[in-house]
Structure 1
Amino acid sequence: MNNSRQCQADQYLYAIQPGDTLNYIALRLEKSVSRIMAANPGLDPFNLRVGQIICVPACPPNHRPIIIQPGDTLYRISQTNGITIASILEANPSVDPNYLRVGQRICIPTACAD
């Protein structure tokens, strides 16, 4: 097992945990299975091994990841970054705006398109 895997700058490492499937990882990390597969050429989604290291896409182009901190709200994030709440939700369609989790990774646009 190669635990010294390198990912591209717009990706981060993830270690497969017991019970993980690509669908579960995608759901939990709010990513699509197709984006995870594209970041890991040759990955066999039916033969994941505990401890196996894969790359997970951080954010789409023109977006950057942030980690939700205690007290963060979409309003606060929008004000701090000079973007709209709508643009944050558009970039993160699976995020529940009423339930942000500390440690959750979301993508924010680097410039507001409106």
Structure 2
Amino acid sequence: MYNPYHQCRENQYPYVIQPGDTLQFIANKLEVVLSRIIAANPGIDPYNLIIGQIICIPACPPNHIAYIIQQGDTLYRIAQDFNVTIASILEANPSVDPNYLRVAQRICIPSACATSISDQA
């Protein structure tokens, strides 16, 4: 069975299974790679999700931080604010349409240190 008081680790957030949910549907809806959801929930049976079950959704991969799109945001401005490149943001968020950012959309921003190190390589 599942623990209704399940706590998610840092850089994860809880999601409550709804009627009709599949892990693939959740991954698509939340724009998270399916394998990352499975890895964040060891022992989950993807073929036997229970309505009301709480699973953990990884917010961002290591060396990234979550950012919620605000009204008026552009990738250019976000890249400047975080001192990273637009290309690195797009690489971390392959499903993001750079011409259609949605308010309240969650994206992952690579840390400036990780980006500057990889840019020097």
TM-score by length of 1: 0.93
Partner of 2:35: 34
What secondary structure does 2:81 align onto? helix
Q: Deviations over 1:26-73 (max 9, x none)?
A: 111111211111111111111112221000111111101011111111
Q: Deviations over 1:3-28 (max 9, x none)?
A: 21111102111111222110011111
Task: Output the CA distance in 2 between the equivalents of 1:18 and 1:105.
Answer: 23
Partner of 1:54: 55
Is the counterpart of residue 110 in structure 1 residue 79 in structure 2?
A: no
Partner of 1:18: 19
Q: What value does the CA root-mean-square deviation take over the aligned residues?
A: 1.2
- Which AA in structure 1 matches 2:4? N
What secondary structure does 1:69 align onto? coil
Q: Rg larger in 1 or in 2?
A: 2
Runs of 4+ with >4 A deviation: none
Structure 1 gaps, min length 5: none
Task: Output the CA distance in 2 between the equivalents of 1:75 and 1:18.
Answer: 38
> How much has 1:90 moved relative to structure 2?
0.6
Alignment of 1:64-79 (within 5 A): 64-79=65-80
Structure 2 gaps, min length 5: none
Identity within the alignment, %: 69
Task: Output the CA distance in 2 between the equivalents of 1:34 and 1:53.
Answer: 17
TM-score by length of 2: 0.88
Task: Output the CA distance in 1 between the equivalents of 2:39 and 2:58.
Answer: 9
- Which AA in structure 1 matches 2:39? A
Partner of 2:98: 97
